[in-house]
Amino acid sequence: MKFSLAIYGAPCSSQAPDTAYYFAKAALASGHDIYRLFFYMDGVQNASRLATPPQDEQNIPARWSELIKAHNIDAVVCIAAALRRGVLDKSEADRYEKDANNLADGFNLSGLGQLIDAGIESDRLITFGC
């Protein structure tokens, strides 16, 4: 089956990043496809590579980056939600004349249309963190 995951919760304040991550791993391990991960609302914080948790805690953005790379998953972060919350790639940081960017490896900023496209193209679109 072709799944897409919409993730609205942020690390540290929501269980959504954990649940979504383990769901994605289990789905892939069972032979299903992940059409897209879509990070929206506070879920955009999953894509900040500046997260620096203590060594004995999970680094959630780094863990996503590994999974995305290992399985070549399309991981989209809603650009409007990300800009609002301070998650920027290099080109957005340049555009808005910010002194830093923080979008982690493997993630791409794109529009909300990618969430609707995921709903159209996937057999199931599952929301985490509402």
Write down the catalytic residue from 51, 68, 73, 78: 78
Q: What are 29's two structure tokens?
A: 């391990």
* Choices 15-23, 27-35, 97-105, 116-124 (CB under 8 A): range interacting with other proteins: 116-124
- List 6, 10, 37, 73, residue binding other proteins (CB under 8 A): 6
Task: CB nearer to other proteins: give 36 or 65.
Answer: 36
Q: How far is the CB of 56 from other proteins (least distance, A)?
A: 31
Place of tokens 């985490």: 128
Strand-strand pairing, 124-128 and 107-110: unpaired
Can you tell me the distance from the alpha carbon of 101 to that of 5, in angstroms, rounded to the nearest whole number? 25
Place of tokens 């969430």: 115
Strand-strand pairing, 75-78 and 33-39: parallel
* Active-site residue, 78 included: yes
Name the site residues for other proteins (rule: CB under 8 A): 6, 40-41, 80-81, 84, 111-113, 115-117, 119-121, 125, 127, 130
